[in-house]
A and B are shown apart, each in its own frame.
Chain A
Amino acid sequence: MMKKTKLLAVLLMLCLMAGLSAQGQVDSGVQKEVELRWASIWVGNDSKAPAVEALVNEYNAKNEGKIKVVIEPQPDYNAYEQKVRTSLAAGQAPADIFTIKFNPTTATFYQSNLLMDFSKVMSSTWKQTFDAGSLEQSTVDGMMKSLPMETAILPIWYNMDAFAQAGVKTLPATLDEMWAAFDKLKAAGITPASQMTGDTNAWTSMIWFSHFAVSLGGTNVWDKPFTDPAFVEAAKLTKRMITEYSTSDAVGLGAGGSGGHFLAGRTAVFSNGPWYAGRADLAATPFFGSIKIAGLPAAGSTKDFMISRLQANICAAATKDKAKEAAILDFMQYLTSPASIARIAETSGAMFAIKTDYRPVKALQKQFYDVASAAKTTAFDLEAALGAEVTLEFAQQLGALALGRISAEEFCALVDRKIER
């Protein structure tokens, strides 16, 4: 018995020592080399990962002995967002370089003095490589504590093969044409559109709602109270989409299910960003070549717009170390240079806030770029405009609206309560 306890004690000590010595951080003996830690979400399975990792390696090779960028992989996105929030709340930046999804909720990070303010240190030449609108959107109260990088448009995806099957040859141009086309699809046994009220943001339906709302209320509709008639009408239209023209599991359905219906050919119309275009399982569908990317027929007086958002902004930790600050800025300039961005765009199909000469060759991705440049104006979607909390309420109550438990006016009033002005 005593022997066992002794053995256990020794084992415990060994394990503790192993644990203590398993330090993750590499102690660099060389004082002059500046080490930058980038908590990167563009790792593993992400389509941007290979290009980003290559760029980082080349940068490190070029700056050997002076600057070293170390990528700290953050594979799970939700956990990564938690980490960013938690570390900032605990009084620390999550890393020297990190990205955020810019919206009213994350914009409050600007109030923290843990983030570097780029507006003070950016040269005008560097600024000019960015799309001016995106820079402005990333500026709050004169501070710009994040740089816009990845952007996205959120158009509607039409499976033209399914439309052809139902006897519809062209995209509907008006709302009435759309209902008619949807009725034809139903008659042909195809569910017209993917819709969903599940997850924390009712993603697909949220996008549809945004298209309706902007068309009815203009690109600045999000500044209006949510009880505005534009929103009420948009709610009614979205409800109609869910109850009459979508799958029976739409209420409570998640993004995986919504996409799954489209991939299986069960629904003919879908909505998502450019990242979905690069999926291998999408490319394996029989209708891949007949997907058309476009907006929705106008529900109101605003036309020729596209729903667009800032998908990823890049931030840096504020630092008093001048050498580190210089290193961070040098790397950021390299990463956001048109040459680097073109490389990332090429292999990933993602869209960026930096102007480059890159134009995709793959048909579907090309459509995204064409639609984005053809749009006369852009507007945010609900989540990008109003933040996570409002979107959650939207998603929760959308289910109730679809089930007829609340009216469109009540729906809008409930969502409006969550908006902070």
Chain B
Amino acid sequence: MKQRITGIRLVANSIKWVLLLSLLAVALLPLLWLFVSSLRTNLELQTNPFGWPKTMQWENYAKALSMASLPRLLLNSVVVASCAVILNSAVTAMGAFILARERFKGRDVLYTLLTAGVLVPVISFMVPYFSFITKTGLYNTLLALILVYTAVNIPVSIFLVTAFMKSIPRELEEASVIDGCGFLKRFTVIILPLSRSGLVTAATFCFIYSWNEFLMAMLLTSSIESRTIQLGIKFFSSQFITDYSSMYAAVIITIIPSILAYVFLHDKIIGGLTAGGVKG
């Protein structure tokens, strides 16, 4: 009997690790490929996409680092992504609180309306966005990008954060009301901390989106002062020729900040939740 149980456990364990490791390989593959490719020459890349560099082309990184205005572009990306995240999180937290914890007529309709925005392919809104941004004089500003990125992520953020907020048990809130918590205190003392994981998840998505976004950035800006790093990477391409190896080096360089941001912010904040539980 015991042998059969341990047998099953062994099989289940192996399946588990096969799954985890094969998904790991699949997830690491693009990053590894990018890194290896960034050390090859363009001819090597053109003739065979998979292969090892004949000699390590570290000068590709020198080329990538000498990209015009690299520090300014990186700074812009950091500012835009951070501001979008802060604004999006603040706006979402406040709105989701009402949608999740308050009851009023038309709440469901409002919620459906807001979250239906997830279905919108943003490319179809290019003309109205351009029109709006130019007419309000925000063309070619970082603020334009911040607002667009904040707004575009609202449906997903609202969707997620509302779901997290609604999973908090009523009793906690009711207890706090009995203890004398008013509207604001309910929000800041009870709901906000307990939906932290949802907020951080939504914030992570917003950050990564804002960091990687390119089309709107290209559409709504025209000079280095308000452009982000994703446009800088494109300088290795032109109408006919793309300097792929230098571009990949540039991509690797720009991935590092977003990986760091993800690891520190997300891991630190969500990781810290494993200790504290919701209920005693």
Supposing A45-B236, A75-B238, A82-B215 touch, asked if A256 and B46 sit within 8 A by C-beta, the answer is yes
Residue of A nearest to B244 (CB): A256
A167 within 8 A of B: no
Stretch of A118-126, A137-145, A279-287, A320-328 on the interface side: A279-287
By a CB distance below 8 angstroms, the chain A residues around B143 are 16, 19-20, 22
By a CB distance below 8 angstroms, the chain B residues around A285 are 43
Select the residue from A83, A259, A266 with max chain B CB neighbours within 10 A: A83
Contact with A23, one of B80, B86, B126, B141 (Cβ below 8 angstroms):
B141
Contact with A45, one of B48, B223, B241 (Cβ below 8 angstroms):
B241
By a CB distance below 8 angstroms, the chain A residues around B47 are 260, 263-264, 266
A77 and B222 contacting across the interface, CB-CB below 8 Å: no
Query: A22 CA to B139 CA in the complex, in Å?
Result: 11
Residue of B nearest to A255 (CB): B240
By a CB distance below 8 angstroms, the chain A residues around B173 are none
A47 within 8 A of B: yes
Query: A275 CA to B241 CA in the complex, in Å?
Result: 8
A12 and B86 contacting across the interface, CB-CB below 8 Å: yes
Chain A residues 253 to 284 lying within 8 A of chain B, measured CB to CB, are: 256, 259-260, 263-264, 266, 273, 275-276, 279-281, 284
Chain B residues 122 to 149 lying within 8 A of chain A, measured CB to CB, are: 126-128, 130-131, 134, 140-143, 146
Q: What does the 1/0 interface line of B141-179 toward A look like (CB < 8 Å)?
A: 111001000000000000000000000000000000000
A23 and B215 contacting across the interface, CB-CB below 8 Å: no
By a CB distance below 8 angstroms, the chain B residues around A41 are 238-239
Q: What does the 1/0 interface line of B13-29 toward A look like (CB < 8 Å)?
A: 00000000000000000
A189 within 8 A of B: no
Contact with A72, one of B223, B237, B239 (Cβ below 8 angstroms):
B223
Chain B residues 98 to 132 lying within 8 A of chain A, measured CB to CB, are: 126-128, 130-131
A373 within 8 A of B: no
Supposing A8-B86, A19-B83, A24-B141 touch, asked if A75 and B237 sit within 8 A by C-beta, the answer is yes
Query: A203 CA to B76 CA in the complex, in Å?
Result: 37
Query: A90 CA to B219 CA in the complex, in Å?
Result: 12
Nearest CB on B from A374, distance (A):
24
Contact with A82, one of B80, B86, B219 (Cβ below 8 angstroms):
B219
A20 and B141 contacting across the interface, CB-CB below 8 Å: yes
Supposing A1-B188, A75-B231, A90-B127 touch, asked if A45 and B222 sit within 8 A by C-beta, the answer is no
A11 within 8 A of B: yes
Nearest CB on A from B156, distance (A):
21
Residue of A nearest to B134 (CB): A92
Query: A41 CA to B58 CA in the complex, in Å?
Result: 28
B57 within 8 A of A: no
Chain A residues 286 to 326 lying within 8 A of chain B, measured CB to CB, are: none
A280 and B140 contacting across the interface, CB-CB below 8 Å: no
A37 within 8 A of B: yes
Give the 6 A-B CB pairs with smallest separation, nearest first.
A264-B47, A24-B140, A46-B238, A44-B235, A281-B43, A24-B223
| A residues whose Cβ falls under 8 Å from a Cβ of B | 1-2, 5, 8, 11-12, 15-16, 18-20, 22-25, 37, 39, 41-47, 49, 72-77, 79-80, 82-83, 86-87, 89-92, 95, 256, 259-260, 263-264, 266, 273, 275-276, 279-281, 284-285
Given contacts A12-B87, A18-B142, A44-B236, 16 further A-B contacts (CB under 8 A): A19-B146, A20-B141, A24-B222, A39-B222, A43-B238, A45-B242, A72-B223, A74-B218, A86-B219, A92-B130, A259-B46, A264-B47, A264-B48, A275-B240, A280-B43, A281-B42
A-B contact pairs, 27 of them (CB 8 A): A12-B83, A12-B87, A12-B90, A18-B142, A19-B146, A23-B141, A23-B225, A24-B224, A25-B140, A41-B238, A41-B239, A44-B235, A46-B241, A49-B238, A74-B218, A75-B235, A76-B214, A80-B218, A83-B219, A86-B126, A90-B128, A260-B48, A266-B47, A275-B241, A280-B43, A281-B43, A285-B43
